[in-house]
Homo-oligomer: A and B are copies of this chain.
């Protein structure tokens, strides 16, 4: 069932350790099949090197396991709340990547001091307040705080990113950590130069229209 999406979500999980966004079992990717509305997600507590396309778990929007013999990620409900609210999204990623989570520990957004942030995020990366693990709170905090962008920090916790495809959400997770790291080293040396908001917007529009094939 959903062989191609299982393969894709499995393969994208390997990008998380490869880009140093996770350790042990600490992050997960999900993808939605637009035709059936079903979600493919990581099994809970399984290490990245033990993942296969076959042990990915398929759930419906209500969280029922539709296919797969393992329990889905303990973060599944957070992903589902996002998918329920946003029909435009087919990919969600959650990590505790180091520098993004350092900003999250302080409850601070990542200011848009870099042209890479104008391009990818169109402004600062917001930080939602503390949300309890285990219910719908985290998913709702993501939905309410993420706006039109692909990424949000959760206070004391980590990062959620979204995309129109699972790969888009993974790319955003990689870019969040990269800009968080650079901004960290910048702010720890002094006060970075501000990029005027209108220039951020102009550069973002250009990027969206011209970049890639």
Binding site for B on A (CB under 8 A): 19, 23-24, 26, 43-46, 70-71, 74, 96, 98-99, 101-103, 105-108, 113-116, 118-119, 130, 132-134, 155-158, 171, 174-175, 178, 181-193, 195, 199, 202-203, 206-207, 210-213
Contact of A193 among B44, B130, B171, B203 (CB under 8 A): B130
- Docked-complex contact B103 and A178, CB < 8 angstroms: no
Contact A106:B45 (CB < 8 A) given known A23-B174, A24-B175, A213-B70: no
List residues of chain B with CB within 8 A of the CB of A213.
43-46, 70-71
Contact of A24 among B106, B171, B181 (CB under 8 A): B171
- Docked-complex contact A185 and B45, CB < 8 angstroms: no
Jot down 14 A-B pairs with beta carbons below 8 A, ordered by A. A23-B175, A26-B116, A102-B182, A102-B185, A105-B114, A105-B183, A105-B192, A105-B193, A106-B190, A114-B157, A115-B158, A130-B195, A133-B207, A184-B185
- Docked-complex contact B44 and A211, CB < 8 angstroms: yes
- Docked-complex contact B105 and A212, CB < 8 angstroms: no
- Docked-complex contact A114 and B156, CB < 8 angstroms: yes
Name 12 extra pairs, CB < 8 A, besides A119-B133, A132-B199: A19-B23, A24-B178, A26-B116, A43-B213, A45-B212, A102-B185, A102-B189, A103-B189, A115-B133, A115-B156, A116-B158, A156-B195
- Docked-complex contact B192 and A189, CB < 8 angstroms: no
Query: Considering the chains assembled together, what is the distance between the CA atoms of A19 and B26 in angstroms?
Result: 14
- Docked-complex contact B199 and A74, CB < 8 angstroms: no
Query: Considering the chains assembled together, what is the distance between the CA atoms of A44 and B207 in angstroms?
Result: 11
CB distance from A92 to the nearest CB of B (A): 18
